[in-house]
Structure 1
């Protein structure tokens, strides 16, 4: 076991690319001490967000070094701990002291262990301090963001600030356009611009074609490809439709490069050219979403259903959202190049913000209506209807709240509500498209019809897409990249489990060892089932028992090796196991009882697969024996699941244990007065004539009793195969009925004789006669001791 564990650990280190202790970089604690002092001084004073982010990035980088340094001397520490453990526990107080050489060796090993752990403890302490400093920096940054978010300025509805907005536009013109005009007026620069026209003009023409005509080309090509595709239409359309974003954005980039080639743009003007593709992208994305989700019959989505859905209105709303977001980005770019962040900037942003808020409000109402109308033929709400209504309500709230905040002067808060809400709608739409793309890809690869696949794989991939989209949503709503990296760092650091720290790497190692062990177990089971056991004299039940036992043992060993391979101390599970034992004793006692009974059945094998057994009133063939229950197939082809505890604790009749020979009993009744010896001869002949009845020993005919209505006989015969007992009983009864008819022997039916003591009381008597009974006279009572003539 130690050798196998060592081999597995070495294999995992090789696969994971782990480094040795000598390769782990030693932290520079002097530089770390200087950095912590700088961070503490910065936190005590006032620092900008940019300064704090830089300090945080440096601390996070050093924290990774400290995390790696915690594995320094890991192998040597494990060896020394094993050596100390081999010496046994030290004697307790009052016990006889251990041998002097053992005590000296224990002291040497403890001293060596302390020296080996010193750098690990220092790394753990520095790692903890780094976590604390990062938490303080994050808290400070969040406080500054909160102050900016809740900062209130003058309302943009005040006309006194409108002229300032005009001045801002003029200032932007002077900052961006005036240097370009001045450069054009310079003869030297103008000459160089003319010289560059040979390259700039064709590039600009290509750019204009991509901006204004590429979407039409993509629609034309997509329609042709979809109409001529026999499989994978959804995949083809989606991939081609991406050109509606790529080519126009590329056209804007080419147009900016063509303008830059003239040499007239510099400074702020060049900043504007570089930012143009990103500023214009919301327009192209909104048009793409409108076309893919609403504008093509080839890509009708399952969540856009209902005749009352205003698809045209929703399409125009989606496109206008792109223009509104682009306008907000353009004003932000203007504020960036002019260095302005005062009220006039908010005045210029107010109009597109109001437009965006109104569009969000209107789209929210449409989504709510779509969610209510998203029903099938029976009127049942389809999947996603509740989500549509929820998104619609949130969109309405975001639109109204964003406009109100912008109107009263909370510009930053309005920006933090409106634009993220619009981007959330876009990301959610893209997520729905990606999930449909996964379904179409699966249908293309498996050959199933699009929209008809209900496999588990597309569902799991869609769930992973949702998880992958969560960081995107977080970034949209104001989360910093550092926040996401911090979550990942905490995840990588793992969690403490007793004296052991479990990290994602340990989890992957556990999974790898268990999968390898499980695969080897299945390989051994297959070899035993198909190659080894068929060459033995074991029956089918014994083979299955051995294969099942090997499977249970292999899975247990795989789990045990996986746990020990990642360094989890099993002794730390003692408390948990003790607590679970109480729960097992009370709540899972039936499950445990059936499990133990299943193991007993597999070991002792009182029944095997294929046996015909009878448990209580259930009779049938054993088809499967598991650790919890046994499946019996009855004669009417129904499955009966019997708990294993019932098979161990109750009486079980096994008709085919050892061999298939069994006895059949057929009761026969004849009328009184029949020749009993002739009846016995006929029954003997009928029994011996059946091919399934064995003649050695011969069938026995017994005269059993004088019954209430018949003379009772019984045929007892040994069958070659007891599985045909019902068929043999039916054949014998048919033959007996035929022979009795030929011989004139009557098969009786139940008869009863009725005797009356005073039959004269039932005869009609003349009214008022002497023989008429008096109404007050007592009724006559029967006397069983004096029988009368039969009625």
Structure 2
């Protein structure tokens, strides 16, 4: 229960904590920059006292926490003093370095330099003394704090593992019943004594109007207001006229917690105004607001998280049953608050048997409802098939399994006698469930705000910003989760201190401050580099006579140089000394060099291409069997668009080391060779004249040199000719080729010139099979010839359609 109460207290503190603004005067700012030297005499006293207390081991945990806070203050002072005179020390070191190294033999150095070196070393030792003393004291404080933390953790572990009398043993039941009986008698006695006191009765009569007013308002706020707010929230969520309905409904739904708790607070005021309360009854009455907060918070959170449908934050098969169990868990938490208040300041203190019997029933009650709720969460409802939904389903099943396991283990531990361990498990599990529900509600609320600001629809819930919001909320919930599970505030402050100090890497301390400085300076340098690149590309380079490829090369070079300079300036601004990492960097560079060999090769090849410019944007090239137009040349690769309108990325190394055919380098002219075949017997001179007329008639053909017709030879099936002409624009090569083919087909048809097709000879080995004849079988016992020849000679069959043969 301590974890749940701690969660509620942290939540209220977060909501009610005021925001303070501290204004520093110039003198105060200077004081912060140069902190005063610690009082080492007082530190010695405090350190000796802490060591004596730890050696005696008699102080309570509260006393140890107070002692730890005092030592931690000293540690902070020493940490600030370690950098005292840092700038002056750095200056002196540079001065000493400027004097040069000391001669090895001790001779040969001028007296002026030797005296100056001694003077500077003396000043350096004096300036380093405060920092060295602070380092030593900081180390001692660090050791004391670690010892205190270890002592407190050991005591907490002993308390959790303490074996108490079993609450299921009937022998121990009378002790628990006696606590209840004695408590009821005490309450009755306090009431009777208060009523018999005339002054109390007079106070009651005087405050009766105020009491009635408090009771009427409290009754309305507790009994009627929650249902009214719930109806208004549901009506607002189903309203289609408001874009901000989800945000407004979420804010309005908080009234289901705030309003009834205010009503219970007014009820407490009414009871206290009667003057009839005593010590025990006053404790119970004062605990009512906390109990009401637990009850109504659980009810509101269950309604918000288990809203039903596939879009609910937590999808379950039975959302109404899940909300019921959430309400029951809130009721159990309220009972635990009242139980603790009832057992507070009991004289004599409760025995171990009474404590076990008194606490165990509430643990069992929580375990029953938590077990069933965990089962419902494990059996999640239908979800989408995307990867995000599948991941959320796995997390939900894992979370439900954890709740089921905690609800089983806790009663078993309590029944055995480990009641403290049972409470330390079941109540933090319930607190974790409440924290997860609160994070889910906040994530949905902030996502709704984002949808309003970005004017996005429901599809915006799957955008990057909502995911980052969820991640940030999860990180912020980690400290609260640690407190719920028993972590101390000192543990969190210690973790924060370690985080602020950073880590030491190769002799260099990298802290969050230096890292943020590094990132901020690098981002600024990167943005400035991109701004300069944009100005060069759009304003400066287009006004020069440089080629497009050279312009891109200059812009790319400026970008690489700017990024390197931004990185160097960022490292310098962060104060990181990377000289100690030189060996590690050298070792890594070998492995990285092998891995980046191809990238470096392509990078250097890109620079060569941009400088020598064997190809340019717009050139038609052929490389590695890819034929297309160059659309862009970068430092690493070249982008080629093929005639199929597909993009091919070619590494620059292939363009430099391979064979590249550039069809349009320098000019667009190019030669077209077109082969034509005619049938044997055709007048070759006539064919030559016709082809010459067709070639000369092409508008894309150059007159000088004029097209030529070549009779190349006698082919197997035709007389072969070639049309050779130079085109003014080789980009139209295929268009001209198609047009010439059309014209050849038309002119040959008009002139009666035949374009032959290929001829083939077919030899038939068994012509009798085609005639349907059967080959005679040899007589029995006759010798089988070694090789059988066909009965008739094969005949030559032509595939010429003019042949009138029977085809045999």
TM-score of the two chains, using structure 1 as the length reference: 0.86
Q: 2:147 aligns with which of 118, 121, 136?
A: 136
Contact 1:663 1:717 in 2 (8 A): yes
Q: 1:483 aligns with which of 488, 491, 494?
A: 491
1:598 lines up with 2:610 in the alignment = no
CA distance in 1, matches of 2:750, 2:590: 73
C-alpha displacement at 1:680, in angstroms? 4.0
Q: Cα 1:144–1:192, aligned 2, differ >3 Å: closer, same or farther? A: same
RMSD: 3.7
1:437 lines up with 2:445 in the alignment = yes
State the partner residue of 2:138: 127
C-alpha displacement at 1:686, in angstroms? 3.2
CA distance in 2, matches of 1:133, 1:363: 45
- Encode CA deviations 1:212-232: one digit per residue, 9 max, x unaligned: 222112112112212223435
State the partner residue of 2:48: 37
- Encode CA deviations 1:371-401: one digit per residue, 9 max, x unaligned: 4x54668999844332233223222221122
State the partner residue of 1:5: none
CA distance in 2, matches of 1:138, 1:58: 14
* Greater Cα offset, 255-264 or 542-551: 255-264
Q: Cα 1:90–1:683, aligned 2, differ >3 Å: closer, same or farther? A: farther
What runs of 5+ residues in structure 2 fail to find an aligned partner?
A: 1-27, 799-807
Q: Cα 1:501–1:750, aligned 2, differ >3 Å: closer, same or farther? A: same
Contact 2:762 2:796 in 1 (8 A): no
For residues 394-543 of structure 1, the aligned pairs below 5 Å read 394-450=402-458, 453-543=461-551
CA distance in 2, matches of 1:61, 1:380: 46
Q: 1:733 aligns with which of 725, 728, 741?
A: 741
TM-score of the two chains, using structure 2 as the length reference: 0.85
Secondary structure of the structure 1 residue equivalent to 2:649: strand
- Encode CA deviations 1:336-356: one digit per residue, 9 max, x unaligned: 233634332332222211111
State the partner residue of 1:61: 73
Q: 1:567 aligns with which of 558, 572, 575?
A: 575
Contact 2:762 2:797 in 1 (8 A): no
Q: Cα 1:752–1:160, aligned 2, differ >3 Å: closer, same or farther? A: closer
State the partner residue of 1:221: 232
CA distance in 2, matches of 1:691, 1:96: 94
State the partner residue of 1:6: none
CA distance in 2, matches of 1:598, 1:177: 94
Q: 2:638 aligns with which of 630, 644, 655?
A: 630
1:276 lines up with 2:311 in the alignment = no
For residues 248-397 of structure 1, the aligned pairs below 5 Å read 248-262=260-274, 265=277, 270-295=282-307, 300-301=311-312, 303-305=314-316, 309-338=317-346, 340-342=349-351, 343-368=353-378, 370-371=379-380, 374=382, 382-397=390-405
Contact 1:674 1:745 in 2 (8 A): yes
Q: Cα 1:664–1:544, aligned 2, differ >3 Å: closer, same or farther? A: farther
State the partner residue of 1:76: 88
With CA pairs under 8 Å and 6+ residues apart, which has the higher RCO, 1 or 2?
Answer: 2
CA distance in 2, matches of 1:765, 1:239: 101
Q: Cα 1:688–1:525, aligned 2, differ >3 Å: closer, same or farther? A: farther
CA distance in 2, matches of 1:90, 1:734: 94
- Encode CA deviations 1:660-692: one digit per residue, 9 max, x unaligned: 444433333334444444444444443443343
State the partner residue of 2:197: 186
1:154 lines up with 2:162 in the alignment = no
For residues 82-101 of structure 1, the aligned pairs below 5 Å read 82-91=94-103, 93=104, 97=108, 100-101=111-112
State the partner residue of 2:12: none
CA distance in 1, matches of 2:43, 2:744: 104
State the partner residue of 1:10: none
Secondary structure of the structure 1 residue equivalent to 2:175: helix
C-alpha displacement at 1:483, in angstroms? 0.8
Q: 1:207 aligns with which of 197, 218, 226?
A: 218
Secondary structure of the structure 2 residue equivalent to 1:669: strand
CA distance in 1, matches of 2:180, 2:66: 34
Count of matched residue pairs: 759
CA distance in 2, matches of 1:146, 1:777: 102
CA distance in 1, matches of 2:376, 2:613: 67
C-alpha displacement at 1:155, in angstroms? 2.0
CA distance in 2, matches of 1:452, 1:442: 9
CA distance in 2, matches of 1:712, 1:107: 101
What runs of 5+ residues in structure 1 fail to find an aligned partner?
A: 1-16, 782-786
CA distance in 2, matches of 1:68, 1:170: 59
